[in-house]
Structure 1
Amino acid sequence: MKVHLRVLLAATLASATTGCESFLDINDNPNQQTSVTPDAQLATALVTTAANYNGNLGENNYNSYSSFAVGYWGKSGTVSGFSSEQTYNYTTNYYSGLFNTTYDNLNDYNLIQQNGSANGYPNHAAIARIMKVYNYLLLVDQYGDVPYTNALQGIGNTTPTYDKAEDIYKDLVVQLKGAVADINAAAATGRKVSSEDVVFGGVMSRWKQFANSLRLRILLRESQVPSLKDYVKSEMATLQTQSAADGFITTDVVVQPNYSTNAGQQNPFFTRYGYAPGAINPTSEYSFVMPTNYIIRQYESNKDPRITQLYTVGKRTVDGKAVPQYVGTDLGETSPPRFVATDATVGSRFLVSNANNPAGGTFLRGANAPTVLMLLAEHKFSKAEAETRGLFTGGEAAAKVDYLDGIKASFLQTYRLGNAAPTTLEANPASTPQVPSTNPVVLAYEKYIADNVGNPLVDYDAAISAGAELGKQSVIIYQKYLAENTVASTEAWDDYRRTALPKFTVSSRSASPRPDKLPTRLLYPQTEVSTNQGNIPTGTTQFTKIFWDVVD
């Protein structure tokens, strides 16, 4: 593993509060202990995770890679390149930055955990413990076996051995349980968490809920592995018992360090695909990607109003005339639509929230918009799947409620404006579609449900069961796929490999020999091949499955 001696400049964001000012200029050397206190490090680490997950420039964020892999994005005709995205022919240099930037971030959390435990910051240490799980989960789900037991030792071990992905997964559950126990046991005299917590603002009960929701994500990943069924069943039962006191997330989990329109302080995804600070024209990358025809059809064919918040209306030539409509591309298309006003066919792009369109732009809703770490919709759909499959108690009745709440949470997230509070079902009294509401977003959700009675892609009762064990998994995963579009593409890609759902259109130029014409993982980066090749698992290719990938 490459040893990183770097100045931590991943999150140069400003804040008026002392706790957040400190994360602007910390120089961290992950290869030695630091005298910087955990409260001065936490905000930087959290903002870095957000950027790694959804926004870093180049091949350094998870959601950009996953958005192409899982059929949300295609290449526009405005630019050349993107051959790996069109052919699924990955190399050791493809998105190679993910591996090292994630380990850099893990080093930050490791220091916070160690210093916090030793110096009277128990809650900071617990947060770092949870975020280490979050980051290791990202690594394992894209690479499989990775350094774990002997990792994060700096110059003490520059070539750590690799642990089995399945073993790491089991320990991640142990770590989450331990973090919750640490929070419960934190002494009243321990240093309180305050504004440096740019996720929950120091509300430790919400960190416990996040830990529980991460446990559910992990256990669902493992749930279809035959050898792990008894283990998963037992852990699910334990999780339900613990959740009675601590619960699960009730809002989107987001990072918000007071993003603003100043240089170096914008939401990272907006900076990359929207507008640079002070710019009057969008970035070049805004025109490089476009929605696929597949994802556009899913919204249009189901009368789904969320599409109006996602993409611009393009135009397509029909009978010699340019007709306004949503225009996408097919994966691997050799001549995709371009974004040139003189073209008869103009592709659709991400809709941007701005002064001219304050009500739109889910993906690019503003420079000050928060960055999502976990959607409430994802959790609701995960809980519904666990219930319909008998992994949680409640059965089909509970599953249907959570399924509908998952769709509603997606509507609330899709339509949320600017820097508004994260999505919460509790803030909108209609928790089921039968309850009247004057909230226009809830009304739009209710119309969507009413317009699709009998449609098995929306109507839970009409959905076709994939078998007694899997319940209504197919419709749950389908709606989860729509909810996670671009905002949480990584989770959609993981769910596809776990369930083989939904059956999205695959690139016609795919080089994959698999029946579904898709890869199954990323290759270890060239930096790791060059510095730690002796420990890299042998025989791995981009078609080597992650251990939980058992359904084709």
Structure 2
Amino acid sequence: MKNILKITLLSAIVAFFVSCETGELELLVSPNDVTIDNADPNFVLNDIQITFNGIVGGYSGTSRQITRQVNLFGTYNNAVDGNTLSLATGPWAQSYQMFSNIDLLDGINEAQAETGGIPYHLGMAQVIEAYAYMLLVDYVGDVPFSEANNPSEFPNPNVDPGETIYAAQLELLDAAIANFNLGNNTTGVRIPEDLYYETFDASKWIALANTLKIRANLNTGNASGINAALSGNIIDNNDEDFQFSYSATDSPESRHPFFTSSYLAAGAGQRMSNNLYDLMNVGSADGLFVENGTVDPRARYYFYRQTSSDPSGSDLPCEANFSAYDYCYVGNLYWGRDHADDEGLPNDGFKRTVYGVYPGGGAFDDDSFIESRANTATLNGAGIRPIYLASYTHFALAEAALTLGTSGSASNYLELGIRRSMDKVRGFADGLDSGDFAMTNADIDAYVSRVLSEYNSANNAGKLEIIAREHFIAAWGNGTEPYNLYRRTAGPDLQAPIIPAGPFPRSFRYPSTEIDGNPNIQQQGPNTRVFWDTNSANLD
């Protein structure tokens, strides 16, 4: 691992979120500092794991809006500007703080080398570091890397090319796998606390490392890299899913953000996306504007309808200007909004459709239509953040087989992706879905049959669209993978903004705090593409 900051200086910032800048860390020397001599590797690693979950959540929230998982209110610039990544608790600052803690962990491992070191701890941290750096490149492009977190030598770090950073992370993943294998062959190595897989299992972290290689090589269009990764263990079964689990504990608040925003606040916060409703065929013949469709078996798990009434009057401001809308209301009691709809904000917090049981630990929709903050049966927020699931792997491999000619059958991977997603969602409900509305094997088989029939009759462009659509639907609750998918494939075919929303952000802007503090970084516009985004399509 590269030494981008001396270990003796790193000790001042372990587990403290003290800086927004990669080049402006105030490092203090204190007799109470955590150092490589007194630091508990579990303490440091736990902070790294928790920080990474926050990093993913920071990216995902905005990405879910711009990719139509939930409603984007107004223009793209409202969601993605110089302030989006600027907060001290945002993905940019948290990433660089976390990298410093990973370097500390590396130092602890070196100091304990004679007694076997902490290869498992370091391997986990290296996988997380590689993932976090690839996310920085995916979102921003060229970022500080070789000069990062070294203020004494590089007070204003320059950026490195995204392509260079990606290549370095693939090497880091190999180093992580080597550490896991070392731990497996060393007696008495400490077992880390694992906040993602609950019980540490080196084989699952190796599977994640290999899967991240697939993810990176798919972005860059490298078929040989994908085929090479397939020779090792990958995330291809749901018990290998990389996810962060929340609890039902409210003191301290440890429940899923979807739950706290939908079931505890004074009125649900986020409005859902009519476009996603449409992709899941939730429209009803007796609804206002959408033709009848077959409802996706996951719909009752993804969404919870609070009311048995259709929106009308002030609760349906789009109706007065219906010609400007693609949906306005999709019917079947699903209250949502069209993409970029910035009409008035009715007081419908106790009526609009909210997050369901998956993945936020809310309620299963069994047609009870109880306001979500009433005595609705829920998982009380014991949800998950789905970061990289087995279903994503299979959809990625389906896309790669179709577009790059990699090993395997695209249609087989597509089917596996759908089935992994269905099984994941159904198994998550923990009994809340008992009764007539629960997903059945027949429901899953019928859905798969329809999709494969559609796929087999489509040309290659149509096949890619179907893979992208199914990947998008299965990624509910994760904004990072749909954002990459949309830029990489221009799919699925999503609703255009219903107002002039400006250009779709092909990358995020550098944090304004970084621009203000570092003259070596110049701000970029929304049309700037990251190095692997070679798609010529004009995205809406």
Normalising by structure 1, we get a TM-score of: 0.74
1:205 matched residue in structure 2: 203
1:436 matched residue in structure 2: none
Q: Given residue 215 of structure 1, which amino acid in structure 2 is its aligned partner?
A: K
Are the counterparts in 2 of residues 52 and 98 from structure 1 also a CA contact under 8 Å? yes
Cα displacement (A) at 1:532: 1.4
Cα displacement (A) at 1:154: 5.8
Show CA shifts across 1:291-341 (max 9, x none).
121111111145312112122335435799998521211122232674538
- For 2:235 and 2:338, the matched residues in 1 are separated by 38
Matches within 5 A, 1:180-195: 180-186=177-183, 187-189=185-187, 191-195=189-193
Question: Residue 339 of structure 2: which of 328, 331, 342 is its match?
Answer: 331
3-state DSSP of counterpart to 2:534? coil
- For 2:343 and 2:314, the matched residues in 1 are separated by 19
Q: Judging changes above 3 Å, is the alpha-carbon distance between structure 1 residues 409 and 337 closer, same or farther for their aligned structure 2 residues?
A: farther
Alignment of 1:544 with 2:528, yes or no, is: yes
Matches within 5 A, 1:103-122: 103-119=96-112, 120-122=117-119
Q: Judging changes above 3 Å, is the alpha-carbon distance between structure 1 residues 461 and 524 closer, same or farther for their aligned structure 2 residues?
A: same
Show CA shifts across 1:196-224 (max 9, x none).
4543522101111000001000000011x
Q: How many residues align?
A: 462
Which segment drifts farther, 404-413 or 152-161? 152-161
2:92 matched residue in structure 1: 99
Are the counterparts in 2 of residues 339 and 347 from structure 1 also a CA contact under 8 Å? no
Unaligned regions of 5+ residues in structure 1, if any?
11-26, 55-60, 76-81, 224-231, 276-281, 421-438
2:257 matched residue in structure 1: 269
Unaligned regions of 5+ residues in structure 2, if any?
18-30, 282-292, 317-330, 367-371, 373-377, 432-437
Alignment of 1:129 with 2:126, yes or no, is: yes
3-state DSSP of counterpart to 2:96? helix
Show CA shifts across 1:472-498 (max 9, x none).
32211110011112x211110111011
Cα displacement (A) at 1:268: 4.2
1:292 matched residue in structure 2: 273
Q: Judging changes above 3 Å, is the alpha-carbon distance between structure 1 residues 166 and 182 closer, same or farther for their aligned structure 2 residues?
A: same
What is the RMSD of the two structures over their aligned residues, measured on CA atoms?
Answer: 3.6
Question: Residue 70 of structure 1: which of 61, 67, 71 is its match?
Answer: 67
2:295 matched residue in structure 1: 303
Q: Percent identity?
A: 21
Matches within 5 A, 1:492-511: 492-511=482-501
Question: Residue 473 of structure 1: which of 464, 477, 481 is its match?
Answer: 464
Alignment of 1:532 with 2:518, yes or no, is: yes
- For 2:223 and 2:71, the matched residues in 1 are separated by 39
- For 1:192 and 1:441, the matched residues in 2 are separated by 43
Question: Residue 402 of structure 1: which of 410, 413, 430 is its match?
Answer: 413
- For 1:347 and 1:274, the matched residues in 2 are separated by 10
- For 1:368 and 1:324, the matched residues in 2 are separated by 28
Are the counterparts in 1 of residues 235 and 390 from structure 2 also a CA contact under 8 Å? no
- For 1:409 and 1:359, the matched residues in 2 are separated by 21
Question: Residue 163 of structure 2: which of 143, 163, 166 is its match?
Answer: 166
Structure 1 runs (4+) deviating above 6 angstroms are 27-30, 318-323, 353-356
Cα displacement (A) at 1:84: 5.2
Are the counterparts in 2 of residues 408 and 442 from structure 1 also a CA contact under 8 Å? no
Matches within 5 A, 1:379-528: 379-394=393-408, 398-417=409-428, 440-450=439-449, 454=453, 456=454, 460-466=455-461, 472-485=463-476, 487-512=477-502, 517-528=503-514
Question: Residue 142 of structure 1: which of 139, 143, 146 is its match?
Answer: 139
Are the counterparts in 1 of residues 356 and 362 from structure 2 also a CA contact under 8 Å? no
Question: Residue 215 of structure 1: which of 208, 213, 235 is its match?
Answer: 213
3-state DSSP of counterpart to 1:289? coil
Normalising by structure 2, we get a TM-score of: 0.76
Q: Given residue 259 of structure 1, which amino acid in structure 2 is its aligned partner?
A: S
Q: Judging changes above 3 Å, is the alpha-carbon distance between structure 1 residues 142 and 384 closer, same or farther for their aligned structure 2 residues?
A: same
Q: Judging changes above 3 Å, is the alpha-carbon distance between structure 1 residues 212 and 442 closer, same or farther for their aligned structure 2 residues?
A: farther
Alignment of 1:255 with 2:244, yes or no, is: yes
Q: Given residue 283 of structure 1, which amino acid in structure 2 is its aligned partner?
A: A
Cα displacement (A) at 1:359: 6.9
Q: Given residue 177 of structure 2, which amino acid in structure 1 is its aligned partner?
A: V
Cα displacement (A) at 1:46: 1.1
Q: Given residue 98 of structure 2, which amino acid in structure 1 is its aligned partner?
A: N
Cα displacement (A) at 1:511: 4.1
Q: Given residue 291 of structure 1, which amino acid in structure 2 is its aligned partner?
A: M
Q: Judging changes above 3 Å, is the alpha-carbon distance between structure 1 residues 545 and 413 closer, same or farther for their aligned structure 2 residues?
A: same
- For 2:381 and 2:172, the matched residues in 1 are separated by 34
Q: Judging changes above 3 Å, is the alpha-carbon distance between structure 1 residues 319 and 447 closer, same or farther for their aligned structure 2 residues?
A: farther
Are the counterparts in 2 of residues 237 and 392 from structure 1 also a CA contact under 8 Å? yes
Cα displacement (A) at 1:110: 2.7
